[in-house]
């Protein structure tokens, strides 16, 4: 896809798209702008509401014009949603070069506009042998876009490049989330990281089963023991010369979770291919940070494993020795995420000493019951971190809502026979006790936050008939990194 920037014109564009915010006087605005295209429809506001995702196509004697509603909120995520929706819906009818009139839109929204357009072309047909794509505008070499704007070309190019780089990485990790678990194994995710590191300039080290044994990551090994392939720990580091802060991210990478011996019910079990949404967020963030060459020293750990059932599977009541040395009584083998994350958190913390430590995981059904698809749960005792993550969520639309991480909940994870247990046995406060469990393995890190994201990482959207991956976390972390 080629993007250009030029003052308003219309030469060989087959369509002019005019995005419209629903301001008090959007009718006057519309009247004025349509005059610039020598067109006038009285009371157009009766036909076009400017609500988010509303679309009207107008045929003038000389132009084809599409109006796209952006709604009332001036938010990044709303811009992305509106553009993604338009291009998603229209991709089989669009042709040739398209003009987008953005003279009236703040220039700093350009990355989101580009991002939305590209995500509109995201294709979920990963394994179809007969792909319906003959009319797909995104797959046509001649498809390009000219933005009508007076932004200086250099500035515009920078914005466009940013929007494009983020979208490419988002779609790449969305592909992993949407992939079938026999195609995305701990091995193939490790290979993805190695390849991305080579292309984008960050270091990647994989601990395979033998190395996990040598380094005694007892929890990751136990969870992965009944897997069809062996577990790995993916370690990634991006260290630019002028790095300011050292930030550590850890992402849960269970490529399929059937619960193990504490087996899940079969209804919707297929959704558990998405139990690596946290890993996707971390892989995508690392890739974009390296591509954009941000001044952040970023260190990441992604434990990848299959949580399956077999004669080699770990058992409820087994006691595991974690990498930290602490022992864990397994009450439920379906609470596997916190086990692999425990090892990864301690490993990253001890070996890389990040100043800020954040984990992101599709960890509990409890978080989905609490917040639905609208927000991920945020648990931290560090006020500054809470504020920055919360604000980054509001800004990007990848929202977070805080739950307590008080010591009052400690009893939930205390065990009679081991240092801790992995489940309280009570169907209450599940998201919080999971957070308390993970906190133990950060070894009193003073700037630690836990994000629980199953409802936001993989969900029903207007872009597919069933749940799909969202790349939740990538734009959130990028915004967060600009705040510290």
Q: Which residues are catalytic?
A: 264, 338
Whole-angstrom distance, CA of residue 91 vs CA of residue 464: 14
Residues 251-280 binding Zn ion (CB under 5 A) are 254, 257, 275
The verdict on 359 binding ligand BES (CB under 6 A) reads no
Identify the CA nearest to 209 among candidates 185, 193, 237, 192. 185
For the beta carbon of residue 60, count every other beta carbon within 10 angstroms: 14
Identify the CA nearest to 477 among candidates 281, 290, 303, 200. 281
When CB distances are held under 5 to 8 angstroms depending on the partner's kind, the choice from ligand BES, Zn ion, none that residue 430 binds is ligand BES
Cβ neighbourhood burial of 142 (10 Å; 0-12, 13-18, 19+): exposed
Place of tokens 């006087």: 25
The verdict on 306 binding Zn ion (CB under 5 A) reads no
Identify the CA nearest to 461 among candidates 119, 118, 73. 119
- Which position among 275, 359, 398, 479 is part of the footprint of ligand BES (CB under 6 A)? 275
Q: How far is the CB of 217 from ligand BES (least distance, A)?
A: 18
Q: How far is the CB of 380 from Zn ion (least distance, A)?
A: 21
CB 278 within 8 A of CB 305: no
DSSP per position, 377-396: EEEES-HHHHHHHHHHHHHH
Whole-angstrom distance, CA of residue 463 vs CA of residue 467: 9
When CB distances are held under 5 to 8 angstroms depending on the partner's kind, the choice from Zn ion, ligand BES, none that residue 412 binds is none
Comparison of 284 and 454: residue with beta carbon closer to ligand BES = 454
Report the 3 state secondary structure along 48-115.
CCCCCCCEEEEECCCCEEEEEEEECCCCHHHHHHHHHHHHHHHCCCCCCEEEEECCCCCHHHHHHHHH
- Which position among 54, 169, 364, 380 is part of the footprint of ligand BES (CB under 6 A)? 364
The verdict on 101 binding ligand BES (CB under 6 A) reads no
When CB distances are held under 5 to 8 angstroms depending on the partner's kind, the choice from ligand BES, Zn ion, none that residue 78 binds is none
Contacting range for Zn ion; rule: CB under 5 A; set: 86-94, 180-188, 248-256, 383-391: 248-256
- Which position among 237, 332, 355, 410 is part of the footprint of ligand BES (CB under 6 A)? 332
Q: How far is the CB of 220 from ligand BES (least distance, A)?
A: 14
The verdict on 230 binding Zn ion (CB under 5 A) reads no
- Which position among 77, 285, 366, 370 is part of the footprint of ligand BES (CB under 6 A)? 366
**CA angle, residues 138, 103, 139, in degrees to nearest 5:** 5
Q: Which two tokens stand for residue 165?
A: 């780089």
The verdict on 362 binding ligand BES (CB under 6 A) reads yes
Comparison of 14 and 182: residue with beta carbon closer to Zn ion = 182
Residue 480 makes CB contacts below 8 A (sequence gap 6+) with: 388, 389, 392
Site string for ligand BES, 225-254 (x = CB under 6 A): ------------------------------
When CB distances are held under 5 to 8 angstroms depending on the partner's kind, the choice from Zn ion, ligand BES, none that residue 423 binds is ligand BES
The verdict on 368 binding ligand BES (CB under 6 A) reads yes
The verdict on 354 binding ligand BES (CB under 6 A) reads no
The verdict on 337 binding ligand BES (CB under 6 A) reads yes
The verdict on 359 binding Zn ion (CB under 5 A) reads no
CB 473 within 8 A of CB 354: no
Site string for Zn ion, 317-346 (x = CB under 5 A): -----------------x-xx---------
Whole-angstrom distance, CA of residue 297 vs CA of residue 283: 15
Q: How far is the CB of 231 from ligand BES (least distance, A)?
A: 15
CB 67 within 8 A of CB 48: yes
Identify the CA nearest to 310 among candidates 273, 256, 269. 256
Binding site for Zn ion (CB under 5 A): 254, 257, 275, 334, 336-337
Binding site for ligand BES (CB under 6 A): 257, 275, 332, 334-337, 362-366, 368, 423, 430, 454
């Amino acid at each position: 896809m080629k993007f250009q920037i030029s003052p308003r014109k219309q030469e060989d564009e087959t369509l002019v798209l005019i995005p419209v915010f629903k301001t008090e006087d959007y009718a006057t605005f519309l009247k004025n702008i349509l005059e610039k295209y020598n067109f006038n429809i009285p009371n157009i506001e009766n036909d076009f509401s400017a609500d988010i995702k509303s679309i009207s196509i107008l045929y003038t004697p000389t132009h084809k014009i599409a109006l796209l509603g952006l709604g009332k909120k001036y938010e990044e995520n709303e811009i992305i949603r509106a553009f993604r929706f338009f291009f998603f819906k229209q991709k089989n009818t669009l042709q040739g070069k398209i003009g987008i009139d953005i003279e009236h839109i703040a220039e700093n929204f350009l990355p989101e506009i580009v991002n939305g357009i590209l995500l509109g072309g995201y294709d979920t047909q990963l394994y179809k042998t007969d792909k319906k794509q003959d009319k797909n505008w995104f797959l046509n070499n001649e498809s390009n876009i000219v933005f009508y704007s007076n932004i200086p070309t250099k500035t515009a190019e920078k914005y466009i490049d940013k929007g494009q780089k983020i979208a490419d990485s988002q779609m790449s990790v969305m592909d992993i989330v949407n992939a079938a678990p026999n195609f995305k194994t701990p091995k193939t995710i490790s290979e993805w990281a190695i390849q991305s590191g080579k292309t984008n300039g960050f270091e990647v080290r994989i601990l395979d089963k033998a190395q996990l044994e040598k380094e005694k990551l007892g929890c990751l090994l136990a969870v992965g023991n009944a897997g069809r392939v062996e577990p790995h720990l993916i370690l990634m580091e991006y260290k630019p010369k002028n790095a300011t802060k050292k930030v550590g991210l850890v992402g849960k990478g269970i490529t399929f979770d059937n619960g193990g011996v504490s087996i899940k019910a079969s209804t919707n079990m297929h959704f558990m291919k998405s139990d690596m949404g946290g890993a996707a967020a971390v892989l995508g963030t690392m890739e974009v940070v390296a591509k954009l060459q941000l001044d952040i020293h970023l260190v990441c750990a992604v434990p990848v494993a299959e949580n399956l059932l077999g004669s080699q599977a770990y058992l409820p009541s087994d006691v595991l020795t974690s990498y930290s040395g602490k022992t864990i009584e397994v009450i439920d083998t379906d609470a596997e995420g916190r086990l692999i994350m425990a090892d990864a958190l301690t490993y990253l913390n001890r070996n890389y000493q990040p100043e800020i430590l954040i984990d992101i995981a599709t960890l509990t059904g409890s978080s989905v019951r609490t917040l639905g698809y609208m927000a991920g749960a945020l648990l931290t005792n560090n006020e500054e971190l809470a504020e920055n993550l919360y604000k980054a969520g509001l800004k990007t639309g990848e929202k977070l809502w805080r739950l307590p991480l008080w010591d009052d909940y400690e009893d939930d994870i205390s065990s009679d026979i081991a240092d801790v247990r992995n489940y309280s046995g009570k169907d209450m406060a599940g998201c919080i006790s999971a957070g308390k469990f993970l906190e133990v393995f950060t070894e009193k890190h003073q700037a630690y936050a836990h994000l629980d994201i199953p409802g936001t990482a993989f969900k029903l959207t207007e872009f597919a008939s069933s749940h799909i991956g969202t790349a939740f976390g990538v734009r959130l972390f990028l915004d967060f990194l600009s705040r510290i």
